[in-house]
Structure 1
Amino acid sequence: MNIIKKAYKSQAFSKLSNCTSPSIKVAVLKLARLSRYSPAIELRLAHYLVQQNQAEQASEILHKLNSFLASSQVLPTIDRQATQFSIESILHAIGKPLHNDALCRVSIQKKDPSTTLVTQPAGNYKVNTKFSGIEIAGKIQLHTEAGVTHPEKVQLLLNGQLIREESTAVKDDKAYFRITIKRPAVNLMPADSLLQVQTTTGKTLICGNAEAVNLTIPHGNNQLFEQIAHRGALTKKGHLPLTPEEVYATQNQYLKLYTKVNEAFIKITGRPMFLLYGTLLGLYRDGDFIPGDDDFDIGHVSLQTDPISVKRETIDIMLQLISAGFTIAINRRGKPFRIRHPEVDAQLHLDGRPVWQQNGKIWMHKQACLSLKLEDFLQTEQRKMRGTDVTIPSGTEDFLRAYYGKGWKYPDPSFSNSSVTVPREVKQNLAQICLTHRELEVLSVKARELKKDQPHAGEFIPIAQHDLYPLDEYTSKCGW
């Protein structure tokens, strides 16, 4: 018992994976839960109890945790969908599932390393199921010798066929990557397959000490390779890409939605919503969408001069848009806001954000703090995009140069703002506009009350707080 108390006091329970004794693992976690109720501790305790063939105790813990998630006591730090998926995965393993989730039946097994031996692996990776699909994450060890070429991308192979090429993020002497195959794509995979990761220079990465992973997906319909041959490899979001015809049709739907939203927004605020980022770049440079562009970025001016005041104003605008019949969704980080029509697919939404001036700079998400003037956005111009009237900022060219750099006039398919280093103080200031857990709860209540008084009103969907189950409802409202 003294050993267990020492382990708890030294917070050794956070590194229980290094412990070889299941009984000590269980004892330490039971002691830890006396001081606080933590979903992470409950999940690990249930997992270890299953390993000790104590399924009934594990089931009781998981049902209590599920009830806790359904209560008003939920903490803002909890990843709701991830926790619900973990509960369901363990309950499925002991034959007591609450829901019919096919992803819980996926099996991931490392290939027997004795069959092949990788003597000098380029790096390593792990494969896990998560609530949104299958995640492959890893790192490559970089060499510092002069003249050594570092791989900028890794390739994900399934049965020897390329299904995704992913860029890496370099930090110190390692290059990191993370790929998620989203649920809709998982459904198309073969029932049995071999997954491998390699660099673009052909060097192999290992999972543990194995050079490949065997995937068993009982519900897989084996259409993935056929679809990739028709559409191309998986996108960075983990989906199959749309065909050119589907992209064109989707872009036209965006324009129709934008027209409705902009009309409502002008009535509410007296100011328009204007195009931004890639949508604006495509129109201004080429007179149309960037080829393959499958999102639609817009913004509006706020006359407030600090993120907290901007947030309050934006919350009020969102409520008025809901009252006008639009559905508003907030992403996992709490960033306002996505807007769509309640009758269309959850994936078809406009990405909106406020634009404001603070300390002589222009601020807006995606992580932008630019040396521009508010007048560049207050003054707007009208343009035509596929015959549809759209609004653009009068300072469009200055914005595009400030955000994309001097080469903005020339298409660069490899451009990604995620590779740009954003100063910590910029991230911190922009983070203040994100809605807190409490603000999301309050706004949810107001939206529900609005719906009672105005049946035509739209919905408010805080994605981070939405239940994963039933899956059909989560898919239709939040998408993948």
Structure 2
Amino acid sequence: MRIVLLHFIKHSIKPVFIYRSLWLAAVHHFAIAAESIGWHRLSYLLFLLLERRATALSTSNRISAFKIKQFVEFHRAKNEWLGNTNRVGSPDPLFRCQVKEQNFLTRPPNRFAGRYSLEFTHLGLRLDGFLSNEAVGSQNVALWLDNQYIRSLPLYYRKWAPPFFHYHIKREVIARFPQSSQLSISTMEGKHLRFRKSSAAKVEVPHGDSTIFDYLSSASGIDKKGFLSLAPDTIEARQQRYLKIYARAQKYFSQSFGSPLFLMYGTLLGHIREGDFIQSDDDFDAGYLSHKRTAADVKRETMHLVVDLVLAGFTCSFNRNGRLFRLRLKDDKPDVHLDVRPVWYENGYIWAHKQACLPLEISDFEPVRTEILRGVEVDVPKNAERVLAAYYGEGWKVPDPSYSNASQKVPRFVTRKLKSVCITPADYQEMQAQIDARRPDYPEAGKLIATGLYPLYPLEDYEANCEW
């Protein structure tokens, strides 16, 4: 009963925090309910109202606008299309996808180990769930499709709450599903979780090509972010491209900004520990030292830096949390970028996204050491080994395939501090206005892209500029 109550509270209360309005949260629930029972015209009108609200928030100081605008746009467009009796050609293949109950059980033979929900969103298929008290102590749950193991999902523990999980199976994976399949979730010991009143969910994907099992059997998989894992040769080629972007960016940082761009996190770990990238590492982490002493000043400095980078010909973007920033060259695809963040010292600690509050000093970072990675000069913090030990722990020299930064517990004061460096929609509009005003003098300028505010449709334009 506690699990049912928590599940209800989560899905009922969450919109209140997103919209900061009880009546808009009520509209949200009515819109979702209308869509679920096929009242698409009513749902369309309700989501249209919510979309207007989301558009108004796109110039506000509410970071939540980055997360709700495309969700509302997706459901508004979906119900507009489904409610049109003369519809032809879906503008989005996910509009036809559905989740239904499978294997309805009025009296399950065994007590379920928890419950979960499924929902198609603009990003793909979202899974949310809780485990019962009996399952406390587990670290993962198992995801199954047509009784075949797909991957494990990490569990999160918080005070006063049972273990929970959330995961998004992204669009590129959904496209490989069978047109009709059975999805279930179980503990690693084999006890099933409950979906509505069933032991499994029926997932209908009309555009699915049924290649998911062939893909998984070829030693590939689905990564922790819900995307298809890249093949080794693709990862190696991408790492080479990262180094080309880094070389261009490092020149700008050193000559124009006055602060070197150094390796961080997994990229630094691979270089120091193995003399190369970590074999499966498909991203590139970098940072630069800010000598500002407050989060507010660091944020303003970073905003000015990003404007200057765009005018210098780079394309910069930021995620749906407003975290600055991703950096790429103008001719690169959206998913081929450097993850860059400011690093600063405040109140006795070194701070940096993601989740870093480290007992280090400025002197651990500068002056940087210049070393060679695959024939390219790269900068690393002065005491790189100490930085790695502070972030990963003293065991950083021994590879740990199970390590996940997302599963680490982070004190609330750390998340609050780092959140204060994230930009708001109003900040983005200010930066974009500066770029537009100065663009005539910079014909080779790049773009500044707010991923969460970019129009979803047409999908081809979105995917040419943003990643999922």
TM-score scaled to structure 1, two decimals?
A: 0.86
Bigger Cα displacement from structure 2, 467-476 vs 192-201: 467-476
Specify the alignment match of 2:140 in structure 1.
153
Which amino acid is 2:261 matched to?
M
Specify the alignment match of 2:4 in structure 1.
none
**Pairing partner for 1:473 from 455, 461, 467:** 461
Contact 1:195-1:214 at 8 Å conserved across structures: yes
Specify the alignment match of 1:163 in structure 2.
150
1:404 aligns with 2:392: yes
- Structure 2 counterparts to residues 35-434 of structure 1, below 5 A: 40-46=25-31, 59-63=44-48, 65-66=50-51, 69=54, 76=62, 77-78=64-65, 79-95=68-84, 100-114=91-105, 117-143=108-134, 150-171=137-158, 172=160, 174-434=162-422
Specify the alignment match of 1:460 in structure 2.
448
1: distance between equivalents of 2:320 and 2:58? 19
CA drift at 1:41: 4.3
CA deviations over 1:118-177 (Å, ceiling 9, x no partner): 42211111111111000111111133xxxx883211111111111221111123562211
Contact 2:136-2:163 at 8 Å conserved across structures: no
1: distance between equivalents of 2:189 and 2:375? 46
Contact 2:47-2:75 at 8 Å conserved across structures: no
CA deviations over 1:313-364 (Å, ceiling 9, x no partner): 1111111111111001011111111101121111111010111111222111
Contact 2:51-2:69 at 8 Å conserved across structures: no
CA drift at 1:62: 4.5
1: distance between equivalents of 2:22 and 2:199? 40
Which amino acid is 2:80 matched to?
L
Query: Residues 399 and 232 (structure 1 numbering): CA distance in 2 closer, same or farther, change over 3 Å?
Result: same
Which amino acid is 1:94 matched to?
G
Which amino acid is 2:124 matched to?
G
Query: Residues 52 and 116 (structure 1 numbering): CA distance in 2 closer, same or farther, change over 3 Å?
Result: closer
Aligned residues: 447
Task: Give the match's secondary structure for 2:190.
Answer: coil
Task: Give the match's secondary structure for 1:378.
Answer: coil
Task: Give the match's secondary structure for 1:313.
Answer: helix
CA drift at 1:95: 2.7
Which amino acid is 2:456 matched to?
L
Query: Residues 363 and 191 (structure 1 numbering): CA distance in 2 closer, same or farther, change over 3 Å?
Result: same
Query: Residues 404 and 454 (structure 1 numbering): CA distance in 2 closer, same or farther, change over 3 Å?
Result: same
CA deviations over 1:393-426 (Å, ceiling 9, x no partner): 1111111111111101111111122233222222
Task: Give the match's secondary structure for 1:121.
Answer: coil
Query: Residues 315 and 37 (structure 1 numbering): CA distance in 2 closer, same or farther, change over 3 Å?
Result: same
**Larger radius of gyration, structure 1 or 2?**
1
Contact 1:268-1:317 at 8 Å conserved across structures: no
Contact 2:40-2:82 at 8 Å conserved across structures: no
Query: Residues 415 and 65 (structure 1 numbering): CA distance in 2 closer, same or farther, change over 3 Å?
Result: closer
Query: Residues 56 and 414 (structure 1 numbering): CA distance in 2 closer, same or farther, change over 3 Å?
Result: closer
Task: Give the match's secondary structure for 1:250.
Answer: helix
Contact 1:142-1:150 at 8 Å conserved across structures: no
Query: Residues 328 and 111 (structure 1 numbering): CA distance in 2 closer, same or farther, change over 3 Å?
Result: same
Task: Give the match's secondary structure for 2:104.
Answer: coil
Which amino acid is 1:107 matched to?
Q
CA deviations over 1:80-106 (Å, ceiling 9, x no partner): 111111212322332367961110110
Task: Give the match's secondary structure for 2:143.
Answer: strand
Query: Residues 99 and 312 (structure 1 numbering): CA distance in 2 closer, same or farther, change over 3 Å?
Result: farther
| Higher RCO (C-alpha 8 Å, min separation 6) | 2
Contact 1:43-1:87 at 8 Å conserved across structures: no
Query: Residues 80 and 54 (structure 1 numbering): CA distance in 2 closer, same or farther, change over 3 Å?
Result: closer
1: distance between equivalents of 2:57 and 2:394? 51
CA drift at 1:232: 2.3
2: distance between equivalents of 1:405 and 1:72? 41
Task: Give the match's secondary structure for 2:199.
Answer: coil
Contact 1:228-1:240 at 8 Å conserved across structures: no
Specify the alignment match of 2:3 in structure 1.
none
Query: Residues 341 and 200 (structure 1 numbering): CA distance in 2 closer, same or farther, change over 3 Å?
Result: same
Which amino acid is 1:151 matched to?
S
2: distance between equivalents of 1:51 and 1:212? 18
2: distance between equivalents of 1:53 and 1:136? 22
1: distance between equivalents of 2:37 and 2:207? 29
1: distance between equivalents of 2:439 and 2:175? 35
2: distance between equivalents of 1:124 and 1:406? 38
Contact 2:57-2:425 at 8 Å conserved across structures: no
Task: Give the match's secondary structure for 1:180.
Answer: strand
TM-score scaled to structure 2, two decimals?
A: 0.88
For the aligned residue pairs, the C-alpha RMSD in angstroms reads 2.8
Query: Residues 365 and 181 (structure 1 numbering): CA distance in 2 closer, same or farther, change over 3 Å?
Result: same
CA drift at 1:247: 1.0
1: distance between equivalents of 2:237 and 2:37? 55
CA drift at 1:206: 1.4
Bigger Cα displacement from structure 2, 40-49 vs 115-124: 40-49
Task: Give the match's secondary structure for 2:176.
Answer: coil
1: distance between equivalents of 2:123 and 2:40? 26
